[in-house]
Amino acid sequence: MIQAGSTVLFQGDSITDCGRGRNDDAPNSLGALGQGYPKMAAGRLLKERPGDALKILNRGVGGNRIVDLYARWKSDAINLAPDLISILIGVNDTWHEFGSQNGVEVDRYETVYRMLLDLTKERLPDAKLVLCEPFVLLFGAVTAEWLDEMAARRDVVRRLAEGYEATFVPFQSAFDEALKSAGPDYWTRDGVHPTVAGHCLMADTWLNTVC
């Protein structure tokens, strides 16, 4: 799926951002890739394919909801002309509602997500799309009242992946399976943000699905 010479873009919220440097936007740069699953996945790809001239970028921004991602999509995605775009977005659309009543309802989440994908198809018709399943673990900041809404968001992303012929990365399923071997505090810091082990699990899941 990732051809030689491709530019790969990771997009999303703080889970993707994970401390990436804002003053360094060079592809394959340690500082620009952050400390999470995009850097781990990039490292594996670059190690295994040294002659393929891959360029890997991270433009995740902490705190983003789908509406925030759409607002910056032209500058942070379209203008970069990537060959593959990986998107993980959705947890803040729920979290911000419970925390500050500034979330994005599931139906509006789907509407804006479709707008973003339609724009991408229009401007970058040859770009491959990877839609990642938003996930939470019942721990820390996450309470039981989040679960049905997050399940509805996952259903949206799964339908969008099918409708737009995108690759669907099952992060929630991967974490659910991982809970059989260790508790939620091993895989996440607060039910949302992964630990080192959680990010490694995500990188492996992404690579196994996409590659």
Q: Which are the catalytic amino acids?
A: 14, 190, 193
Sort strands 84-88 and 7-12 into parallel, antiparallel or unpaired: parallel
Cα–Cα distance, 9 to 48 (Å, whole number):
18
Cα–Cα distance, 192 to 44 (Å, whole number):
24
DSSP calls for the chain: ---TT-EEEEEESHHHHTT--SS---TT-HHHH-SSHHHHHHHHHHHH-TTS--EEEE---TT--HHHHHHTHHHHTGGG--SEEEEE--HHHHHHHHHHS----HHHHHHHHHHHHHHHHHH-TT-EEEEEPP---SSTT--GGGHHHHHHHHHHHHHHHHHTTPEEE-HHHHHHHHTTTS-HHHHBSSSSSB-HHHHHHHHHHHHHHH-
